[in-house]
Amino acid sequence: MSYEVNKTDEQWRTELSPEEYAVLRKAGTERPFTGEYTDVTTEGVYACRACGAELFRSDTKFESHCGWPSFYDPADTDAVELIEDRSMGMVRVEVRCARCGSHLGHVFEGEGYGTPTDQRYCINSISLKLAPKE
């Protein structure tokens, strides 16, 4: 797939820390309850750590107690792309940044959270960078 931000693997390795690279470019997952944004309630915009694209806003972040930051809706439906993920012996929906293709996490539906969309975008903190509201 072609993305607006298109870099070689070597460029990504140079620009990202090994931990960021493992999650963003190799679809890894950070350990639950370890990410810097898991319990953050600061108002602002969450952008892709790899390319800076606006992905989520704090007003859609909610407490899911799952170990990763959870949002019920992206900032814009075109901000993320959703891809069927059949890894790990199950069917899930992977969430990627639509601008650079970086792995963000997964989205789940029908879990019973009282959100307007009945969705939980379960996103790795290391995939995000928070720009606090001024």
Active-site residue list: 122
Q: What is the DSSP letter of 10?
A: H
Per-position DSSP letters for 55-87, written without gaps between them: EEEGGGEE---SSS-EESS-SSTTSEEEEEE-G
CA–CA gap between residue 48 and residue 58 (Å, rounded) = 14
Q: Residue 22: exposed, middle, or buried by beta-carbon count in 10 A (0-12, 13-18, 19+)?
A: middle
Helix (H) or strand (E) holding 103: strand 103-109
